[in-house]
């Protein structure tokens, strides 16, 4: 798999960066316990398979029809990564997770999966993010490479979000006492996004 370690490091930075998904996992864990947080984590991770499949099939089709269009996607992806990096650097930090009403675990899982699947920004992110680590001339083919990268992204999401969900109470209390932590998480993630975006833009 091309750029395995770079992809893994970037994916973890993205998953750790404060956002709607991990905030909802924290909220579920804080308001309803570890099991609810873990189920929410698994639900959001499961939704990644939907976006990965769409991105893999779509980008592979573009590459087959026009290699130039594939390069345009990669350059657009580089610009997009730099843009979200700048937004992360300007962020004011992690918001407080709000209390949620108690719900059955099956409902939490279903809501988490659907919430992730119905978010078009996630699909856009995968369309521009995964191709940055694909070798269009690789023996495996673009579709298989992107599916592998998507599976790796999902696995690390399961691990990181599960830690968030299981430790939600401790994490929530710790973050409330240290509001600046969210700012530094955003800055680290922002610097990572900008660095990878520049690297992609300058790569042949």
Please report the pLDDT score of residue 159 as a whole number: 92
In tens, the pLDDT along 177-193 reads 666 766 676 677 678 77
SS3 state of residue 81: helix
Cβ distance 73 to 128 under 8 Å? yes
In tens, the pLDDT along 3-16 reads 778 888 888 887 88
Q: In this predicted model, which residue has the larger pLDDT, 111 or 87? A: 111
Please report the pLDDT score of residue 156 as a whole number: 92
Please report the pLDDT score of residue 70 as a whole number: 64
In tens, the pLDDT along 113-158 reads 887 787 666 777 787 778 778 877 776 777 888 888 888 998 999 9
Least confident of 81-85, 96-100, 144-148: 96-100
Q: In this predicted model, which residue has the larger pLDDT, 67 or 26? A: 26
Q: In this predicted model, which residue has the larger pLDDT, 146 or 63? A: 146
With residues binned 3-state (H G I as helix, E B as strand, rest as coil), the percentages for the chain, rounded to 5, are 80, 0, 20
* CA end-to-end distance (rounded Å), the chain: 18
Share of the chain above pLDDT 90, in %: 4
Domain ranges of the chain: 4-202
Please report the pLDDT score of residue 204 as a whole number: 56
CA pseudo-torsion sign 9, 13, 101, 169: positive
Please report the pLDDT score of residue 2 as a whole number: 55
User: Does pLDDT of 94 surpass 60?
Assistant: no
């Amino acid at each position: 798999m091309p750029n395995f370690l770079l992809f893994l490091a970037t994916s973890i930075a993205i998953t750790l960066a404060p956002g709607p998904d991990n905030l909802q996992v924290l909220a579920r864990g804080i308001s309803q316990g570890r099991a609810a947080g873990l189920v929410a984590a698994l639900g959001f991770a499961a939704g990644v398979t939907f976006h990965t499949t769409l991105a893999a099939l779509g980008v592979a089709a573009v590459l087959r029809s026009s290699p130039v269009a594939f390069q345009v996607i990669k350059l657009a992806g580089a610009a997009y990564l730099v843009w979200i990096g700048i937004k992360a650097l300007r962020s004011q930090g992690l918001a407080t997770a709000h209390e949620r009403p108690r719900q059955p675990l099956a409902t939490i899982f279903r809501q988490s999966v659907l919430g992730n699947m119905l978010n078009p920004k996630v699909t856009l992110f995968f369309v521009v993010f995964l191709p940055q680590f694909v070798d269009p001339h690789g023996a495996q083919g673009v579709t298989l490479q992107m599916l592998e990268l998507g599976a790796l992204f999902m696995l690390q999401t399961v691990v990181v979000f599960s830690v968030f969900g299981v430790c939600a109470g401790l994490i929530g209390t710790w973050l409330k006492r240290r509001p600046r932590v969210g700012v530094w998480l955003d800055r680290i993630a922002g610097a990572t996004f900008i660095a990878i975006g520049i690297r992609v833009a300058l790569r042949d």
